[in-house]
Amino acid sequence: MAISVLTLCIALLHLLGILAAMHAVQHTRTPQGAIGWVLGLLLLPYVTLLPYLYLGSSRFLGYRVAHQAASPSTPPQTPVPTVDPGCHRYAAISTLHGRPFRRGHQLRLLIDGAIAFEAMLAAMATAEQCLLVQFFIIHDDAIGRRLQQVLLQRAAAGVQVCVLFDGIGSHALPQQYVETLRAGGVAIHRFATHRWRNRLQLNFRNHRKIVVVDGQRGFVGGLNVGDEYLGLKPPLAPWRDTHMELRGPAVADLQQLFAQDWQWITGTRPPLLPSPPGEGDASALIVASGPADPQETGSLFFTTAINAARERVWLSTPYFVPDHSVRAALQLAVLRGVDVRVLIPSRPDHHTVFLASTLHAHQAVRAGIRVFRYQPGFLHQKALLIDRDTAAIGSMNLDSRSFRLNFEVAAMVVDQAFAADVATMLTTDFSHARAVDEREYHDAPYLRRVAMHVARLFDPLL
């Protein structure tokens, strides 16, 4: 009897493996990924079925449908002045995201955690009507409690305070932290898939970092809320990161993105205030991507921006796992004579990604791309510099997770003064970096090189 039950269980697992393999063939984004899942599900379903439930889906079902059915209204806009002529070469990016470049921005580059958090917390403390806050990670540590106190103070002053955090990224956040905010009048929710088809997914994380104060000041970048982002937690300290502040009409687009995520979770709309035109001249476009997009928005953004470069492409990313399109764009830029540089960490925070990044860095160097490893501490900065007039700061890493599986946001700016600030920042970073050469790969122990190639097999999940 026991044998027949065991046989029945094995047969059932193989049947489920066949059904899952059929699903993988139809829905996996790349042929390589489809082959990997199909072989695993057919040959070893008792090993691969559970991971496929958590990691196999590549589309966030329901999110876009929900917004088509009940989309939050856009905050009132003032007439937009003519944008910088340099924006025209990024027309495809504007069309892809369904929103225009807007002119009239004042911008501030916020380098590293101490400066960025002082600016954000000070701005939050001035909120009089509405405060929107979204982070992938919030910790209950010193900086997390400072954020908590500011939020409670503004809520007590009658400000409508809305907070989103990712359920997986902030898995260690105590419920008491959340309940304290709710008791103080703060509307706070964790971003989760929360639909039955997506419920088991570890993918589809909301990696965005957005702060909007009274519809007038917006912040985006790479920093989460935790003491490690202030460089207070070895062995990754000092932590290298960048944020930016915008004032001007594009802040309305940041509000709109927050509103879409808020509506998905709560079914209601947060308050949306009009964003003033601003007193600056910089042109900006809010770039957003996610697994609900009908196209691979993140990868297309990087590919288009790199293809537009004629003088330089400088990239800073903690995870260098480019897909074929981005890798080809970087190689073509080198062939056009463009100064292509990529800044990556010298210390790992995720070992599998670091191994895959090391192999990609080796192949990039062989293609003529200059790759550098930042030496002082962990590099978490996500920055892109194109020629002498364009820069982007945001949450997007150069990996498949940011390209396809996470919700991301960045501000793309066409403005020579801001691009010069980013160039100065990156020049300093490169001065603290070591150039990668082919010896890094060839001098590695044999088993480590094998591990790099094994890690690369997981590119679609990294």
Domain residue spans of the chain: 2-55, 63-88+104-282, 297-461
271, 130 Cβ separation under 8 angstroms? yes
* Confidence at residue 81, expressed as pLDDT on a 0 to 100 scale: 59
SS3 for 304? helix
* Confidence at residue 197, expressed as pLDDT on a 0 to 100 scale: 46
Q: Which two tokens stand for residue 389?
A: 């007039």
* Confidence at residue 68, expressed as pLDDT on a 0 to 100 scale: 47
Q: Which two tokens stand for residue 148?
A: 């908590």
Does the domain made of 297-461 have the CATH classification 3.40.50.1480?
Answer: no
SS3 for 447? helix
Q: How far is CA 297 from CA 96, 266, 407, in A?
A: 7, 25, 10
Question: Of 419, 441, 440, 431, which Cα lies nearest the Cα of 374?
Answer: 431
Rounded CA separation 212/40 (Å) = 45
Residue owning tokens 């503004």: 154
Q: pLDDT tens digits, the chain, 462 residues: what are they? A: 556 777 787 777 777 767 766 776 776 666 666 776 677 777 777 667 666 666 655 556 566 545 544 444 555 454 555 788 889 999 999 999 999 999 999 999 999 999 999 999 999 999 999 999 999 999 999 999 999 999 999 999 999 999 999 998 999 999 999 999 999 999 999 998 655 444 444 567 899 999 999 999 999 999 999 999 999 988 899 999 999 999 999 999 999 999 999 998 999 999 899 888 778 999 999 999 988 888 889 999 999 999 999 999 999 999 999 999 999 999 999 999 999 999 999 999 889 999 999 999 999 999 999 999 999 999 999 999 999 999 999 999 999 889 988 999 999 999 999 999 999 999 999 999 999 999 999 999 999 999 999 888 877 766
Sign of CA dihedral 189, 130, 138, 142: negative
* Confidence at residue 37, expressed as pLDDT on a 0 to 100 scale: 65
244, 238 Cβ separation under 8 angstroms? no
pTM: 0.88
| Architecture of domain 63-88+104-282 in this structure | 2-Layer Sandwich (3.30)
* Confidence at residue 30, expressed as pLDDT on a 0 to 100 scale: 65
Strand partners, 212: 132, 218
Q: Which two tokens stand for residue 353?
A: 């990604």
343, 426 Cβ separation under 8 angstroms? yes
Please tell me if the domain spanning 63-88+104-282 has the same topology as the one spanning 297-461.
yes
Active site residues: 207, 209, 214, 380, 382, 387
* Confidence at residue 6, expressed as pLDDT on a 0 to 100 scale: 73
CA 407 to chain centre: 6
Residues 6+ apart with CB under 8 A from 23: 56
311, 388 Cβ separation under 8 angstroms? yes
* Confidence at residue 360, expressed as pLDDT on a 0 to 100 scale: 96
Q: Which two tokens stand for residue 439?
A: 């010896």
Question: Of 189, 186, 199, which Cα lies nearest the Cα of 159?
Answer: 186
SS3 for 183? helix
